[in-house]
Amino acid sequence: PPLIEHGGLVSEATAGSKHLTARYVGVCRAIRDAAASVMPGREEHALEIPSMVDLGEFSRSHRVPARGDLGLADGVPAVGWVGRLDRKKRVEDFLRAASIVRRSRPDARFFVVGGPDAFMPEYELELHALASECGLGGSVEFLGDRSDVPSLLSALDVFVWLSRAEGMPHVIAEAGAARLPVVATRDNGSEQQLQAGVSGLHVPHEDPPAVAGAISSLLEDESLRRRLGTALRGTVERRYSADVVVPQWERVFEEVLVEAGR
């Protein structure tokens, strides 16, 4: 049967021979290009199809009950991060930025959503220790793995993603579906997802003061939050919604099956 490979990391895209691969599908341009580099003479068989978002899971009506569940009073700013607790995701930069933001916004609350990576369970413990060291106390909550991420995102005012060496961060598209302004590092897929100053804010890698500055600028400007969040929602609808992505996969399957029947 024909083989279709699907990858979310550059290292996956270049690993192993591709002579048995009918198509390689990367979730962002950088991964697609990496795969094409090891498919000489048939670079066109390396494709880019992003991860998709079910927009039906996201509703503004979730915001009030979700904030209530988190104990957030009206007007209390909420900033969040979502993902697996993996060192490359630089959650420590989020915590250090939070400690800086609190100097001017002591009312701000910060949420880390996601459980430990099976290969580095100690990282979660290190993050808890860092939060204590930074004096974050009750202003930060580690919520662990959750099945209600769309609702949790609706409770936030700002979303932050500071990873290095990612593919296409699916959670950025989810944040966009929730109409959230996003602060993110420039990293492979995130550069495609966010247009700086239009649908999000980019920050340098491993620079908590810059992250704190971006978060603070959003917390102080509701119109900017709304503008960036609305723009990113539009991007998600055009590029990452299930209605857009599913037909792309259908075309790939149809093409490969036709070729296999020759």
| All structural domains of the chain with their residue ranges | 3-52+241-260, 55-239
Calculate mean pLDDT across residues 137-141: 96
Is domain 55-239 classified as CATH 3.30.1200.10? no
Residue 188 has pLDDT above 80, yes or no: no
Calculate mean pLDDT across residues 236-261: 96
Structural contact between residues 57 and 242, judged by C-beta atoms closer than 8 angstroms:
no
How far CA 216 is from CA of 61, 77, 207, 212, 258, in Å, comes to 26, 10, 14, 6, 54
Residue 9 has pLDDT above 70, yes or no: yes
Calculate mean pLDDT across residues 10-35: 87
- Identity (one letter) of the amino acid at 164? R
pTM over 0.75: yes
Calculate mean pLDDT across residues 205-210: 98
Residue 262 has pLDDT above 80, yes or no: no
At 13, the pLDDT band (50, 70, 90 cuts) reads confident
pLDDT tens-digit series, residues 63-120: 999 999 999 999 999 999 999 999 999 999 999 999 999 999 999 999 999 999 999 9
The total of other beta-carbon atoms located within 10 Å of residue 115's CB is 15
Instruction: Return the minimum-mean-pLDDT range out of 39-48, 141-150, 200-209.
Output: 39-48
Residues of the chain with pLDDT > 70: what percent? 99
Calculate mean pLDDT across residues 23-50: 92
HSE of 236, CA atoms in CB hemisphere, 13 A: 29
Residue 189 has pLDDT above 90, yes or no: no
Count the helices and strands in the chain (H runs, E runs).
11, 9
The total of other beta-carbon atoms located within 10 Å of residue 2's CB is 14
Instruction: Return the minimum-mean-pLDDT range out of 12-16, 24-28, 81-85.
Output: 12-16
Higher-pLDDT residue of 108 and 26 is 108
pLDDT tens-digit series, residues 151-168: 999 999 999 999 988 888
- Could you give the CA distance from residue 218 to residue 243 in angstroms, rounded to a whole number? 31
How far CA 26 is from CA of 6, 181, 187, in Å, comes to 6, 26, 15
- Could you give the CA distance from residue 115 to residue 90 in angstroms, rounded to a whole number? 14
- What are the structure tokens assigned to 212, written together? 């704190």
Structural contact between residues 91 and 172, judged by C-beta atoms closer than 8 angstroms:
no
